[in-house]
Amino acid sequence: MKWGIIGTGNMGSMLASSLIRSGAVPEGDLTLYNRSVEKLTPLVEQFREVDVSDDLTSLADKCDVLFLCVKPHDYKNVLKQLDGHLRADHCFVSITSPVSVDELEDTIPSQVARIVPSITNHALAGVSLFTFGSRVNKTYKQTLEEAFGEFSTPVFVEEPHIRVSSDIVSCGPAFISFLLKEWIEAAHKVAGIPEEKATKLTEQMVVGLGELFSQKIFTLEELMEKVTVKGGVTGEGLQALEDHTGELFEEMFKATQRKHKDDKESIELT
């Protein structure tokens, strides 16, 4: 089976790298296309056997699975260039949440799936969010699940929950990183610890925390219970968080839901 990636920005490059490094796809079975050819250079230098296509139509003609890794507002232009070259035996995979599989199925003749990756896939870890269209056959479903299972945990998500799921899985690392940066700056301001040392301690704490979850040693609830001693320091800190967090996360999710709605209303596929 031949695989093609349209767009090698942050997510497209990460996807290409993860597919190859995990062994999910042999280098020689992957073809890349990017409007700016120079952006292909790092990938081509790293993976010498990958193919590069000069235009979208030739990529479509030679590949079975096509990943569309461009911004949602660029979908219309890409689909226009692919008009007449997308076949019923293609599997066309979108990686963005504002465009539903139903909308794509109404626009193109191909079998359609949506798979939202995460930057954590760089570490051959984390989650990938799956939604299959009604036309996707059993072979493509199994192939995609097995491929992404080599570097992530595939999780199936219904359309109404795709945005919030993407917030947790795909945007989550940026949100958590922001909070940890605030954490580090507060530690420096209140207790005088150098930010460099606080950063190192925080990063290693997060690594260890991830291992606790990865190895299923504790759940979130069990972890808080184990660390919190009645009348102790952790309890005081948790109470302060409870007192001051307020509606922070509710407002964050409201903001992303609004943006998702606006994006869906502004995107045209035809």
What single letter denotes the amino acid at residue 15? L
What span, in angstroms and rounded, lies between the C-alpha atoms of 269 and 74? Answer: 9
Q: Considering the domain boundaries, does residue 85 fall inside one?
A: yes
Give the pLDDT of residue 38: 86
CATH of the domain at 65: 3.40.50.720
Q: What count of residues does the chain have?
A: 270
The answer to whether residue 147 scores a pLDDT higher than 90 is yes
Q: Which pTM was predicted?
A: 0.92
Q: Output the six-digit token pair for 174.
A: 């940026």
Q: Is 156 in contact with 207 (CB distance < 8 Å)?
A: no
Q: Output the six-digit token pair for 177.
A: 């990183």
pLDDT in tens, 163-182: 999 999 999 999 999 999 99
What single letter denotes the amino acid at residue 48? R
Is the same domain home to 204 and 180?
yes
Is the same domain home to 24 and 131?
yes
Give the pLDDT of residue 162: 96
Q: Considering the domain boundaries, does residue 107 fall inside one?
A: yes
Per-residue DSSP letters for 143-159? HHHHHHHTTSEEEE--G
Mean of pLDDT over the chain: 95
What span, in angstroms and rounded, lies between the C-alpha atoms of 223 and 212? Answer: 9
Q: Considering the domain boundaries, does residue 268 fall inside one?
A: no
Query: Where does a domain end: 157, 183, 206?
Result: 157
Residues whose CB is less than 8 angstroms from the CB of residue 52 and which lie 6 or more positions away in sequence, other chains included: 31, 32, 33, 40, 44
The answer to whether residue 268 scores a pLDDT higher than 90 is no
Is the same domain home to 21 and 153?
yes
Task: Describe the crossing of helices 195-214 and 172-191 by its angle, rounded to 10 degrees.
Answer: 140
Task: Encode 20-32: b = buried (16+ Cβ within 10 Å), e = exposed.
Answer: bebebbeeebbbb
Residues whose CB is less than 8 angstroms from the CB of residue 262 and which lie 6 or more positions away in sequence, other chains included: none
The answer to whether residue 51 scores a pLDDT higher than 80 is yes
- Residue 50, beta-bridge partner list: none
Question: Structural domain of residue 40, as residue ranges?
Answer: 3-157
Question: By three-state DSSP, how is residue 94 classified?
Answer: strand
Q: Considering the domain boundaries, does residue 241 fall inside one?
A: yes
pLDDT in tens, 72-104: 899 999 999 999 999 999 999 999 989 999 999
**In angstroms, what is the C-alpha Rg of the chain?**
21
Is the same domain home to 26 and 146?
yes
CA atoms in the 13 A half-sphere facing the CB of 178 = 7
Query: Where does a domain end: 138, 157, 176?
Result: 157
Question: Domain count of the chain?
Answer: 2
Is the same domain home to 124 and 106?
yes
Q: Considering the domain boundaries, does residue 265 fall inside one?
A: no
What span, in angstroms and rounded, lies between the C-alpha atoms of 49 and 46? Answer: 9
What span, in angstroms and rounded, lies between the C-alpha atoms of 219 and 216? Answer: 7
Give the pLDDT of residue 229: 82
Q: What is the dihedral of CA 226, 231, 237, 243, to 10 degrees?
A: 110
What single letter denotes the amino acid at residue 230? K
Is the same domain home to 175 and 127?
no
The answer to whether residue 230 scores a pLDDT higher than 80 is no
- Residue 106: pLDDT band with limits 50, 70, 90: very high
Is the same domain home to 135 and 185?
no
Is the same domain home to 147 and 185?
no
Q: Considering the domain boundaries, does residue 141 fall inside one?
A: yes
Give the pLDDT of residue 61: 94
Is the same domain home to 242 and 173?
yes
Q: Considering the domain boundaries, does residue 263 fall inside one?
A: no
Please name which of 99, 108, 125, 93 lies closest in space to residue 206, comparing C-alpha atoms. 125
